[in-house]
Every structure is written in C-alpha cells, then in structure tokens.
Structure 1
Amino acid sequence: MTRADLNLLRSLAVLIEEGNVTRAAVRLGVSQPALSAQLARLRALFDDPLLVPSETGRGMVPTPRALDLRGPLDGMLADVGRILAPAAGFDPTTAERNFTIAASDNGTVVLGMSLFEDLTRRGIGGIHLAFRPLDRTRLRDQVEAGEVDLVLTLMDDVPPGLKTRAVLVDRQVVIQRKGHPRGTGQLDLRQYCAYKHVIMSTEGRWRTTLDDHIGELGHTREVALSVPQFMLAVLAVAGSDLLGMIPARLAEHFTDRVDVFDIPFKPAGFALQAAWHPRNHADPAHIWLRETVAGLVARG
C-alpha cells in the first residue's frame, strides 16, 4: 500500500483496457513519457511486465498477471468513485431519517411542535422526531456520541466546540390567570411586586437575576413557588393568583387560560440557538433540519 497510489492503479486499468500507451495517455490526460514512467513503476510494484509488445507489432497485450488484476482493479476503482462522489441531495419527502433534539420545554413547544406540525401538514412521514430534555451536565457528551442531533437552548448553555445559529429571538412577558382579582389593566412595578410569584429554575432557586434588577429599582417580590419548567409555571398561574414570567412565544399557546402583559420594566431579550456537532455541518439531511427549524419562525 505504501508503494502504490490511486493514480498508478487507475493508469494500470486504462493501460490494460487500451493495450496502447499513446491512447491510454490521451484518456488519462498525461503525456506519453509520463505514462511510460508510471508503467515502469507498476512493473516494479507487481514484479511483472504487465504489458508486452504484441506479436503483430501493433500495441501491447496484457500478461496473465495483468489479466488477473483487471477485475479487482475495476471493482476497486468503482468503489473509490462511489466514495469520492458528491453526497446525494436530501429529499425529505422520500427519506427515512430519525432525529433526536434536546430542548427545554419552551424550545420543544414553540419550535419542536411547530416542526412536527409542519412535517405533518406537508405529508412528510419518513422523518421521525424524538425530543429529550436538556441535561446540561451531559449535553456535550450526548452530542459527541451522536445521541443528540440538534440542541435548542440559550447561548450560555451551548457546550464549547459546537456550531450554532440563532433560530428564535424572543422576550419575556408576565402572565396571570383569567379572572385575576388584579383586573386586566397594564401592570406597573408596584402592582407587579404586590403579588406572589412563581419562577422557573432548573436548580430550584428562589431568586433570579431579575430579582437583582428589581432590587436596583428599589422593589422586591415574593417568590412562593419555584418550578423546573415553564409549562409548570403556566399551570401554577392558571390555578392561583400567582404571577409568572414566561417567553412571549410560549405564552401565545395558552391565551385561553392566562392573560398576558408586558413586563413593567425594560426586560432583556434572548435568542434560542440551534447547536450541532461540526461533523454534521455539511450533512444534507442535517442542513435540511436546521433550515427547516429556522424557517418556522420566518413563516410565523
């Protein structure tokens, strides 16, 4: 293997087929002296003349060793051609592919379910989706091992070394139950802090950076409940007088049970990121998945 290369073996296959150095050189796009030099290397490599002058004086004929090599050479070169051929395009309407997506409940509802609905509407039945919760302690290993194809999360949660793109820019809003005793007027900061709150914290915390911001404005709020998912915050708000704060795009799915209000101070926006392993960056199926997820937001 160390003494051969693909160019030499391809030259041998063409020489055997043509039986003529001049014609073989034309097919290979090399000069006749260059091909003659390659033939000399091939003879040394196989310790056989490979091609000898024809008794008629016209062209060359393969030796028995060359004839034995012809079939394996043709098969090997065909395999190499398939290996080096450009990747086939991805047609989701005919493809069979499973994708595993790790996301928070927000990412799963807002983007994941929209993706599934889009596939169903378009009649794409060969694409199967599995959603799993974010495990920030193992996320890098899961992506590296191929257990997770795509991650939907905040930039701060993306493990180092992954490719990313922003797929959804959003903001937080305040929610309260239908028929809340506060009424439906727009909240000011005093009213906001007068009621108890539910917060979302995967670590079970009772404070967030929002509490620091409110404190800088001279106010405090009482957190009565801390839950690990936004969906649980929606359920808690819908069944009590608690106020909650969830992403605006998520809140749009629950306007039948909660009222939605702007936050009574300037909140920071955020962007959900799609993240994936670099090995999948040029995969046509993975490109289709990423572009489809990003396109969901553009289509509203």
Structure 2
Amino acid sequence: MDISRIDLNLLATLKVLLEERNVTHAARRLHISQPGMSAQLARLRTLFGDPLLLPAESGRGMTPTALAQSLALPLSAALRELEQVVSVQPSFAPEQDARTFSLAITDDAQVSVGLELVDQLQAIAPHRLRFNLQQPQVERIAAQLESGEVDLLIAADRLIPASMKVRTLIEDRLVMAQRPGHPRGTGALDLESYCELEHLLVSSAPGSPRGYTDEYLAGVQRQRRVVLSLTQLALVPHILRRGDLVCTLPRVHFARLDAGLELYELPFPAPGFRLQMAWHPRSHFDPAGVWLRELIQAVMRGEDAAG
C-alpha cells in the first residue's frame, strides 16, 4: 500500500471508530456529522478491502472484524508516535548542546563587535560550542545563508542581500580623521579642501573600490583624491599617524580603535552608516539562531550575556 496516497485523517478516524464501536459516538468525538463519519468509514473499507466494522448482533453498536482487531494496537502506537513528531519543539541550551556557528563578519564589524563577542563566546561553554568567524564572500553570501553554510552575516547595510531577515546593530555618522599636527590645521572642513586632501579608503570591494563618501560625491559631480586603499580597518590609525593621509569612517570605528586621532564633521550631508546582522528566513525561529542573535545584541548593549 502506497502510504503517500493515504489520508492520515482516515487513520485517526479508524482509531476512534475502533474505540467507540459506534458511528454516532465517533462522529460526536471528532465533531463531524454522522453522515460525514459514515462516508469516512466507507472510504476506510475501500482502503483496506475489508468491512472493518459490522453491525453488532445485539443491535447496539458495531463489532470489529478480525482485520480491524489486528490493526487496533499498531494503529494506536503509530498515531502516538506521529503526535510526538508534530509536538516536538526544538530547543537549545548553550551550556549543554554542541553546535558550530559560522559567522560572516566584515573587517569593520570585527572592530565594532568582534572583540567583545569573542570574550562572551569564551565564557559560554567553550568546549561544546564552536564559532567560525570568516570574511563574507560577497558574491556567494546569499547562497551560503540559504544553505546554512553561514548562520549569520554581520556587515554594513549595503552588503546585506535583500531577501534576508535583518536587525540593525549600530547606526552612526561618518567623520574624517587626521593625525594631531596635520599640516592642514584644525579648522572646519569645506567641500573643496576635503576633496583636495589625500585620502585613505577602507574597502573590501574587489576591483576599483568606492566608499559611501565616493558615491555621494559622484552624485554632486565631485571626487576626492584617494591615494591608498586597504581592507584592514585596524591599520588605519597606524597609517594616519605616520603621514598626512586622512580617512573617513563611522565615528564608532575610531572610538573602538582608540586611535588618538582628531575627528572632524564632514562638509556635506554624508549618508549614514548602519551595521546590521542578517540571517535567512528559514532559520528565523531556530532556537540556536535566536540565542546567537540575542547574544550579539547583548554584546552591542554592553551587557554581560554570559552572566
């Protein structure tokens, strides 16, 4: 018998019929009409090729056939197992469960989130939970999130695939940094002087990298002088302190780097910066995923998530 062609509701009906041995009583238990119950009994008889229940000699109720009697126990056991399957609620206990989490996290996100997150991860059952932090592969990240190869992406909003669930971790504004004693002085910036300065650009984009600032300036037919680009945000303070380059980044990055640099407001309405975490909708209700996302938010709030 091909089980894929069986209406499982019929098996639940058969169980009740065998227990009640009365069509009226069975219909009442299942909250259906007596004609509806009779129709289901007819379908069961066709399915099993057996009358299953016959009118009792006493005229009251029904008597199961030999086949029906043989089905009673295994049918009841099978339905109990199905009930357990559909009633199972997944759970996750970080202090007990073993799990490997893969996080795709950009370089700037590692500066903003990474160190505090690593501290928390080491405090929570380090021998049973494993964490793999990697740079996002921009061209593959959507597929990696969908397949489960990557559990969570932490990146600027421009790198988040449109189909993902998203939560914002940081909202900030861009500022320009220079070393103390920079030859341009300490005056407020204007657009002309800003574009003429020699800029350091931090970008993980392949090819000819462009930042938020370059995109804005292109929109107003201006261009700054980018003379050096790199992917490692942590190198920025060292490079700026050794020369006359300037760098435009979210204010929070300079604060996290403890750079000892001078910060200046930009002379134009620069686009805002948002650091977000993103995950595939398929894992939205996964208890382990929920735990990880709440842990990261606690880290961003400066809370002790392990305590």
Scaled to the shorter chain, the TM-score interval is 0.7 to 0.9
- Aligned CA-pair RMSD: 3.6
**What SS class does the counterpart of residue 165 from structure 1 fall into?**
strand
Please give the per-residue CA displacement for 1:6-35, whole angstroms capped at 9, x wherever unaligned: 221101112223334344334323344432
2:108 alignment partner in structure 1:
106
Aligned pairs (5 A) from 1:1-300: 1=3, 4-54=6-56, 59-85=61-87, 87-121=89-123, 123-125=124-126, 126-176=128-178, 180-182=180-182, 186=186, 188-189=188-189, 196-202=198-204, 203=206, 205=208, 208=211, 210=213, 222-255=225-258, 257-266=259-268, 267-299=270-302
CA separation in 1, counterparts of 2:165 and 2:140?
17
Q: 1:55 Cα shift? A: 5.4
* Alignment CA distance shift 1:249-1:82 (3 Å): farther
| Percent identity of equivalent pairs | 37
CA separation in 2, counterparts of 1:182 and 1:41?
88
**What SS class does the counterpart of residue 258 from structure 1 fall into?**
coil
Amino acid at match of 1:70: A
CA separation in 1, counterparts of 2:189 and 2:216?
12
Amino acid at match of 1:228: T
CA contact (8 A) 1:187 1:264 kept: no
CA contact (8 A) 2:146 2:282 kept: no
Please give the per-residue CA displacement for 1:222-243, whole angstroms capped at 9, x wherever unaligned: 5442112322334423554533
CA separation in 2, counterparts of 1:206 and 1:102?
20
Please give the per-residue CA displacement for 1:100-155, whole angstroms capped at 9, x wherever unaligned: 1212111123224433333445x454543222112111122222222112222233
Q: How does the TM-score come out when normalised to structure 2?
A: 0.77
Amino acid at match of 2:188: D
Amino acid at match of 1:46: F
* Alignment CA distance shift 1:193-1:2 (3 Å): closer
* Alignment CA distance shift 1:16-1:33 (3 Å): same
CA separation in 2, counterparts of 1:71 and 1:57?
26
**What SS class does the counterpart of residue 201 from structure 2 fall into?**
strand
**What SS class does the counterpart of residue 188 from structure 1 fall into?**
coil
CA separation in 2, counterparts of 1:243 and 1:219?
17
Amino acid at match of 1:243: V
CA separation in 2, counterparts of 1:217 and 1:4?
67
CA contact (8 A) 2:212 2:271 kept: no
CA separation in 1, counterparts of 2:76 and 2:10?
13
* Alignment CA distance shift 1:208-1:49 (3 Å): closer
CA contact (8 A) 2:165 2:280 kept: yes
**What SS class does the counterpart of residue 89 from structure 2 fall into?**
coil
* Alignment CA distance shift 1:17-1:238 (3 Å): farther
Unaligned runs of 5+ in 2: none
* Alignment CA distance shift 1:66-1:186 (3 Å): farther
Amino acid at match of 2:239: A
CA contact (8 A) 2:173 2:271 kept: yes
Amino acid at match of 1:247: P
* Alignment CA distance shift 1:128-1:155 (3 Å): same
CA contact (8 A) 1:163 1:276 kept: yes
Q: 1:200 Cα shift? A: 1.1
Please give the per-residue CA displacement for 1:171-227, whole angstroms capped at 9, x wherever unaligned: 2333445xx4339x8553278678643211333647656357679999976544211
